[in-house]
Amino acid sequence: MIQKKVCMVGVFGTGKTSLVQQFVHSLFSVKYHSTVGVKIDRKAVEVDGTAVTLVLWDLAGRDASQDIPLSYMRGAHALLFVADGTRRETFDQLDDLQQLARSAAGEVPSMVALNKADLTDQWILGQGDEAALAARGHLLKTSAKTGAGVEAAFAWLAREALRAGGSGA
């Protein structure tokens, strides 16, 4: 079985855990729990007839007291950066987080999920921000609450990880 390690990276509270929970268990928790260390889930998907197990590393988010250890991202086959459309700082730190992740994982497929798409009336990001993000790489709006965009995000990562790494793990 081909396995691909996918790291979820972002500032705390952007919904990384909720995206994984929605993708793997089709559940949404209304209570916020900050992740400690790394929580690991698996989900088998199929990419153009090839079975792939995504091993999802849900990394504790960056906050004022802790950065994301590089050691967690080493060996990742793909990266999912998560920002929260209602919080400017989660968007502003994306550049820095992407550089940090690249220093650990190298040039692997990555995308940005602009999460909390169910709260667009509270978003503070303008169309210019979204256009700037989209110009730099793959971007999807997601909602861990409704499930919008979630399957599509992980399907894209699985396909690109497989394409980048061939059939090997």
Q: What is the dihedral of CA 113, 71, 58, 79, to 10 degrees?
A: 30
CB 12 within 8 A of CB 34: yes
53 within 8 A of 44, measured Cβ to Cβ: yes
Q: Which two tokens stand for residue 105?
A: 């994982």
Please report how close the Cβ of residue 55 comes to another protein at its closest, in angstroms. 6
Amino acid identity at 57: W
CA distance 71 to 94: 19
Choose which of 51, 74, 136, 146 interacts with another protein (CB under 8 A): 74
In whole angstroms, how close is the CB of 131 to another protein at the nearest point?
Answer: 35
The total of other beta-carbon atoms located within 10 Å of residue 152's CB is 13
Q: How many CB atoms lie within 10 A of CB 57?
A: 21
Of 50, 63, 75, 92, which one interacts with another protein (CB under 8 A)? 75
Report the nearest approach of another protein to the CB of residue 169 (Å): 5
Per-residue mark of binding to another protein, 108-137 (x: CB under 8 A) = ------------------------------
One of 26, 48, 64, 71 touching another protein (CB under 8 A): 71
> Which residue's CB is nearer to another protein, number 40 or number 51?
40
Name the minimum Å distance from CB 105 to another protein.
10
Task: Please say whether the beta carbons of 5 and 52 come within 8 A.
Answer: no
Interacting residue ranges for another protein, rule: CB under 8 A: 3, 5, 29-31, 33, 36-41, 55, 69, 71-72, 74-77, 169
